[in-house]
Structure 1
Amino acid sequence: MSINAFKHNIPDKTFAKLNTEGEFTRLAVSPGIINKHYTPLQFQKIAEVIGENGAIKYSASYSILLSVPTIEVPRMRQELEEAGLYIAQQGHIVSMKACDFCDGDKMEAAMITEELYERLEGTEVPKRLRVNMNGCASACYNAVYDEIGLVYQKDSFDVYLGAVPMGRHAQAGELFAKKVPVQFIEQLLQAIIAGYQAYARQDEPFHKYYHRTKSADYWERLIQ
Structure 2
Amino acid sequence: MGRNAFTKNVPEHTFATLNKESSYTRLAISPGVINKHYTPAQLQKIAEIVGEDGAIKYSASYYLLISVPTEKRLEICQQLEDVGLYIAQQGAVVDMKACDFCDGEKMEAAAITEALYKTFVGQAVRNRLRLNVNGCASACYNAMYDDIGLVYQQDSFDVYVGAIPMGRHAQAGKLFAKNVSVENIEAFLQEMLHIYNEFARENEPFHRFFKRTKAEAFWANLRVSHMD
Task: Give the alignment's TM-score, normalised by structure 1.
Answer: 0.97
Q: Which amino acid aligns with 1:5?
A: F
Deviations 1:12-69 (A, max 9, x none): 0111111111111000010001000000110000001111332111111111000111
Q: Quick check: 2:13–2:53 contact (8 Å CA) kept in 1?
A: no
Work out the CA distance in 1 between the residues paired with 2:4 and 2:140. 32
Correspondence for 1:13: 13
Correspondence for 1:201: 201
Task: State the percentage of identical aligned residues.
Answer: 62
Q: Quick check: 1:53–1:68 contact (8 Å CA) kept in 2?
A: no
Q: CA deviation at 1:5?
A: 1.7
Superposed counterparts of 1:1-224, under 5 Å? 2-5=3-6, 8-224=8-224
Change (3 A) 1:220 1:3: closer
Q: CA deviation at 1:3?
A: 4.9
Secondary structure, counterpart of 1:60 in structure 2: coil
Q: Quick check: 1:33–1:97 contact (8 Å CA) kept in 2?
A: yes
Work out the CA distance in 2 between the residues paired with 1:179 and 1:3. 47
Q: Which amino acid aligns with 1:177?
A: A
Q: Quick check: 1:3–1:9 contact (8 Å CA) kept in 2?
A: no
Work out the CA distance in 2 between the residues paired with 1:43 and 1:87. 14
Work out the CA distance in 2 between the residues paired with 1:97 and 1:191. 20
Q: CA deviation at 1:71?
A: 0.5
Deviations 1:99-145 (A, max 9, x none): 00000000000000000000000011110000000000000000000
Work out the CA distance in 1 between the residues paired with 2:188 and 2:214. 15
Secondary structure, counterpart of 2:163 in structure 1: coil
Question: Where do 5+ consecutive residues of structure 1 fail to align?
Answer: none
Deviations 1:151-198 (A, max 9, x none): 000000000000000000000000000011110000110000001101
Runs of 4 or more, structure 1, over 3 Å off, are 1-4
Q: Which amino acid aligns with 2:223?
A: I
Secondary structure, counterpart of 2:151 in structure 1: strand
Please, what is the CA RMSD of the aligned residues?
A: 1.0
Work out the CA distance in 2 between the residues paired with 1:62 and 1:151. 19
Q: CA deviation at 1:4?
A: 4.4
Work out the CA distance in 2 between the residues paired with 1:11 and 1:54. 11
Aligned length: 223
